Amino acid sequence: MGAVTHPIALRATDNKLILVRPTRKEFSRSGNHGRFYYLRDEVDVLLYLEQSNSGKRSVILSICRLPQELCSRITDVAEALWIGFDTYYTADVEKALTLLHL
């Protein structure tokens, strides 16, 4: 199992979160880490799903331009899925966040 850092960028539109794809990506040699570039005005929430070499998972909220209670709710859902279920993949967390009704 290797370390992974996966960003999830979201935009709030019509009481829903829409996944924002990066405009450019640069990866490390292993392909598990990298830099992702987004248009600043398109991202309301940016969080990172991380997994260490030992398998420990964490969620880091980097940017949230929404009310604090929504930021907390988004982080709670991501943590519940990413940390609470070690069988969930990054795509599962992305899908769940886009299904949230704000």
Give residue-wise pLDDT tens across range 17-61.
Answer: 999 999 998 887 876 667 889 998 999 999 999 998 888 999 999
- Domain count across the chain: 1
Rounded Cα distance, 49 and 57, in Å: 7
Q: Which domain holds residue 74?
A: 4-99
How are the residues of the chain apportioned to helix, strand and coil, as percentages rounded to the nearest 5?
Answer: 25, 35, 35
Describe the crossing of helices 68-82 and 90-99 by its angle, rounded to 10 degrees: 140
User: What's the whole-number average pLDDT of the chain?
Assistant: 91
The amino acid occupying position 60 is I
Whole-structure pTM value: 0.88
* 102, 15 Cβ separation under 8 angstroms: yes
